[in-house]
Amino acid sequence: MSVTPSPPPCRVPAGSTTDFPYGPMADSGYGNPVFYHAFCDDFDNSLGATGLWTVSAGGAGTVANAAGDGGLALFTTAGATNNFESIQTPSAGFTLPQGALAGKKAFFLTRLQLSDITNSAFIAGLISINATPFTSIADGVYFQKSSGGTVLNIISAIASTLTTTAIPVAFYNTFFANAVNIDLGWYIDRNGYLNAFVGQQLVGYLPQSGSGAVNSAGVSVSPTVGRCVQVTGLSLSTANLAPTLGVQTGQASSKTMTVDFVVAQKER
């Protein structure tokens, strides 16, 4: 099957900017690169002793850059039950939009796949610094799946008190499978609402109208139109948080998780 082509790029010969007319970079055609605090990793060469991440393990597994289109990170656990591999930025550089920061926007997005969607657990999001994230998470907002099932959750944690919202299975049951990519994103809007997005192709050009590429079963892989969950009236942690990804075994055999990219953004 041919790849769906993206449309021609928009050409702005003089550039564009995110600065207000009175801003210090208002006339720069490049735009203001620090309008958002952003962390993005496409996993081309960021892992290892001098990389961007702190690697934590509950066993003798590995996390390493792997060959593959788009840049990949391959998480490989050891073979014992509850072994895990996780990565986290060494400094907790993100806070959620609450208190004096209420009304700001924050975003998280990743693409990953699991070798065994049933007998492994994973986490993906912003959490407080934690070398054993599958034991407990004190603060953060993150996606989670437990071993022994395939239900995806989005969780808000404040001082170890968790508010868990299940993602309706209808949004992912047609494609959530072993060794198949799934895109997971959340967005905290100006009202402080937590919006979750789950799809097979949330990044890259495919028409949002529902037309476009289909899988071998004839099911459209076009992006889900809009959010699949909105959580309102939610209190948010005041803690400093770090981008975090991890996978854990649910049985005595090695499991893998492959991550294509991860991005976190917070409006300044």
Give how far Cα 261 sits from Cα of 35, 124, 141, 233, 247, Å: 21, 11, 18, 30, 15
Q: What is the pLDDT of residue 180?
A: 94
Band (185; pLDDT cuts 50, 70, 90): very high
Residue 34, in any domain of the structure: no
pLDDT > 70? residue 262: yes
Which residue, among 164, 144, 147, 138, has the nearest Cα to 239 in the 3D structure?
Answer: 138
pLDDT > 90? residue 105: yes
Residues 206-235 have a mean pLDDT of 67
Residue-wise pLDDT for 9-37, tens only, equals: 889 888 888 888 888 888 888 888 899 99
Residue 26, in any domain of the structure: no
Residue-wise pLDDT for 108-124, tens only, equals: 999 999 999 999 999 99
Answer with the residue of higher pLDDT: 2 or 129. Answer: 129
pLDDT > 50? residue 211: no
Residue 189, in any domain of the structure: yes
Residue 3, in any domain of the structure: no
Residue 96, in any domain of the structure: yes
- With beta carbons less than 8 A apart as the criterion, state whether 162 and 144 touch: no
Q: Map tokens 């969950």 to a residue.
A: 229
Residue 62, in any domain of the structure: yes
Q: What is the pLDDT of residue 25?
A: 82
Number of domains in the chain: 1
- With beta carbons less than 8 A apart as the criterion, state whether 185 and 203 touch: no
Q: What is the pLDDT of residue 267?
A: 93
Position 104: which residue type? K
Residue 19, in any domain of the structure: no
pLDDT > 60? residue 156: yes
Give how far Cα 49 sits from Cα of 45, 46, 118, 205, Å: 11, 9, 32, 35
Residues 50-66 have a mean pLDDT of 92
Position 3: which residue type? V
Distance CA 125, CA 262 (A): 9
Residue-wise pLDDT for 75-89, tens only, equals: 999 999 999 999 999
Q: Give the structural domain span for 195.
A: 49-267
Q: What's the chain's average pLDDT?
A: 90
pTM for this predicted structure: 0.91
Residue 7, in any domain of the structure: no
Query: Which burial class, exposed, middle or buried, applies to 237 when counting CB atoms under 10 A from its CB (0-12, 13-18, 19+)?
Result: buried
CATH number at 97 reads 2.60.120.200
Q: Terminus-to-terminus CA distance in the chain, angstroms?
A: 42
Which residue, among 42, 46, 44, has the nearest Cα to 54 in the 3D structure?
Answer: 46
| 83: number of Cβ within 10 Å | 22
Q: Reduced to 3 states, what is the DSSP secondary structure of residue 115? A: coil
